[in-house]
Structure 1
Amino acid sequence: MSIFRDLLTALRLAFKAKFVWMGFGLLLAVALVMLLSAYFGGRQPVTVALDVGVSTIRLLLPLLIVLLVQELLSREFDKRYYLSSLTYPRARSSLLFGRFVAVLALFLGLLLLLSFLQIGLTQFLSGFYPQATPVALGQPYLIVIAFMALDLLVLAALATLLAVVASTPSFVLIGTFGFMLVARSYGAIVELLGRDAGLVSNTEGYRAGLGVLGYLLPDLGALDVRMVALYGKMEFLPADWPWLLLSNLAYAFALLALAVWALQRKRFS
């Protein structure tokens, strides 16, 4: 029951921090970029609109997650609110789980709204810009959203860990986005070097250095399977997708367990 109370408290804090307005701004931004990209796009404007919309969500929704974690966890330690929230005899883990579940519920709910918005706008644009190869908004699009949700889950778990161990709230933003950029790009760079070895000198050494990241970071770039929905072909789904999902899910749980361990040993001044 204490986790449920922490969840309700976190939801009240999130709405007090104008989460609704931030979510509305994100919905408006996605709608605008999809409409403008379709209008100014050349060939296959509906495909371009959906592609740009997915890119916008993958860029802006992690920012909203970081802002939520800063509001619900970083401020808890920075403003010494724990003097009140941890006064009652309850485990510290319940506070962390309550706040994390609140972040999870909010960003998954917003992702669901964004997916409905994209479906509606895509169908609307299809009436103005018919294509010979329409986008797939059925099961392929659901797969894209599910993979994107797992990507965001990993980032939310990392932001939670950084909020517990970091001394300043700004490090949560810097650390999460730095992690996101590296984890989403290193796999594509290794693949690119494998196809064109003349891009850099000492290619093997460069690839070996990047390959080490595969043992330390999840391959978030492989979770971007938008091509499945853009062209309606399941061949674009990675061959090892079950292992990809399992490894990223395990990585998220490991980060969350590490955050609980760090909070249990955190000394408050």
Structure 2
Amino acid sequence: MEEERAPRPAWGRWQRGDGGRGLPWRSTVLIAVIVMVGTGFAARNQPGRETLDVLGRALLLLGAAPLLFRHRRPVPVVFGVAAVTLGYLAAGYPYGPVFGLVGVACFAAVVHGHRTAAAWALGLLWAGHLLLSHWLYRWLPPAGDGPAPWGQELPAAAFAVAVLAASETVRVRREQRAQLRADRAAAERRRADEERLRIARELHDVLAHSISVINVQAGAGLALLDTDPEQARTALKTIKAASKEALGEVRQVLDTLRTPGDCLLYTS
């Protein structure tokens, strides 16, 4: 009999990065719309930044587009989104929901088991932002911009830590739920195996007893066939009764194994 293989845990699909499903285009479109609209509102309160023009909106869309593949290629996606976000900030465009794109990409990477990649992407984005805000601002738009206050780096760092912590929490809980389902499935398989073993033993006992009776009576019938035909007839009747009883018990045992739709042929 071919060895039965245990089903692959659900978290294995997450680690492969495909999640067992197609591209998440609905959620990606929703995220892109939220970022576009939210950035438009955020720009109203940042008069010192560049106006959100066609290029700025194109960068926002370019940052959202890779999220389509966040379940299949989480590592390239998280670095790609971080790079586009850094380019968006280097162009002097308003702060706001653009960081949500990085958060979603990092979340997907951590959930798929790529915590190091997510941490590196966030770390590189934060380091790049430090360079832009405190050194390279002299040569970058908007014109006449000064260095950013160091106090704003604390919320940025807190955001990065919060994203990593929340993502790790979700990943651990998903793995725990997947492991629990795998344990339940394994327990069900063990119970099924134990039941099959019990039935096999019961069937063995039934057949062993009946065949023993048939063998003894057949030997007696052969020995008495010429000298005592009546006793030989009795032995044959006993053989018939024992075989009929054995067939009935075998049917009962096999009925417990039969699934709906199966067709078992019995002969008597």
TM tier, smaller: 0.3 to 0.5
Structure with more of its chain in helix, by fraction? 1
- Give the greater-gyration-radius structure (CA): 2
TM-score between both structures, scaled by the size of structure 1: 0.33
Higher relative contact order (CA 8 A, sep 6+): 1
